[in-house]
Structure 1
Amino acid sequence: MKLTEPQIDNLYKFTRQHYVYHYDVQTELVDHLANDIEQIWEEMPKLSFEEARDKSFKKFGIFGFMDVIEAKQKQMNKRYWKIILRFAKEWFTIPKVITTIGIFLGFFLMFQIPYSEYIFFGTLLILIIFEMIAVYKIRKEHKAKEKSDEKIFLLEAMIGTTKNGYTGFAMVNLFNFVNLTRFDFSGLSIYWLILISFTLTLLSILFYVSNFVLPQKAEELLQETYPEYKMVKNL
């Protein structure tokens, strides 16, 4: 016996009630539940839809769908970082490599100025505030989409909230490190200045890619990842 459209819709609502918020993860679970329910009905045809659904759900264990959600997040996290690195590599090709060298030299020269750590400290603080505001706005948008039952894909959420979480976390740690160690950049050897400038150049590129490039390319990346994305969004 095949499931009806209302029963499929019920499974989507069921996964949402069990804290599965992203449409692509919901769809994967709905497909699994639907196939399992049909197999259960072959063995026990007298069971109602709800009974067969609950029986199938119990097979996920006491944590329900949480293990599946965690596995999908890890899988998408790897894809997310591959996308970031793909766009970051473009900064080491002409003409962007010239900009990259300029950023490196900017850091290198700045750190040779007396009390440059305070300039760095202040800039970092401004960026952290920017990140916090961006995270707040994006989370507010996603909550509004959830309330209106708009379909949100996992990668779509990661391009929004996760990028800010990673960059914000890195900046806060860097801020704390500079503040606690009381670094005097102008007193460091040239080798340390080169290493620090190179590291900060890479972080700057990652920050720009995750905060500006990916959001601009979001639609293209989502259609590339999810063939059904455009059709689902137009429903």
Structure 2
Amino acid sequence: MEKISMSSWFFGPTLLSLAKLGVYNIHTICMSTGNADGLGSARKSEMYTACSVLQIPTANVNVVDHPSLQDGFSCQWDQSLIVKLLRQAVADHNIQIILTFDSYGISGHPNHRAVHSGVRAFLFEEGNTINSKEGSADEVIQGWELASTNMLRKYSGPFELCALVLKRISIDEEKLHYLVNPSPRTSIVAMSQHRSQWVWYRRLFVLFSRYTYINTLKKMSG
């Protein structure tokens, strides 16, 4: 059973696709409680509930609350701390694959981009491996990043889903994966658990966002 670490709840299609396969042990790392508005405690609880809807048990969810990893556009995150947290998670859970944001971070949020930088530093600056079965060579930990899109594609999820189904696409599965959500409704229910953020414009975002329906994952390389 491969063990995967997730760093964000933008990955609904990925999480539900992997859960459907039933061969992955998924762990989620949220690098902040989201306390920019003083609602960190509530948002932490909401994260656990949302992950439960996405079939990730609470025991597999780690919401980090650290003074150097506070939520906000003006907060610069400590890359070495992110690396340290990833190293600990990999050691504790024998993580084999890490899924995270790409360098733009979907919305350009500096916290998202910092997570990407931290994952990249962990994977390629430290040359991390996991212990394989006795007598075989160690395996390199894989990193996959969620592709950001332009504004039009970002908010045309249902239409892009139709286009993807109708279009024949040649995919190099060694470097790129398209994951179609087997249950968009479940993703929407999961997002609605974030009640402190469930305002009208976020409801519209969830309905029309491609990240409710499709994830495009690109393999990270050094």
Give the TM-score range, shorter chain.
under 0.3
Give the helix-richer structure, 1 or 2.
1
State the TM-score, normalized to the length of structure 2.
0.25
Give the strand-richer structure, 1 or 2.
2
Structure with bigger gyration radius = 1
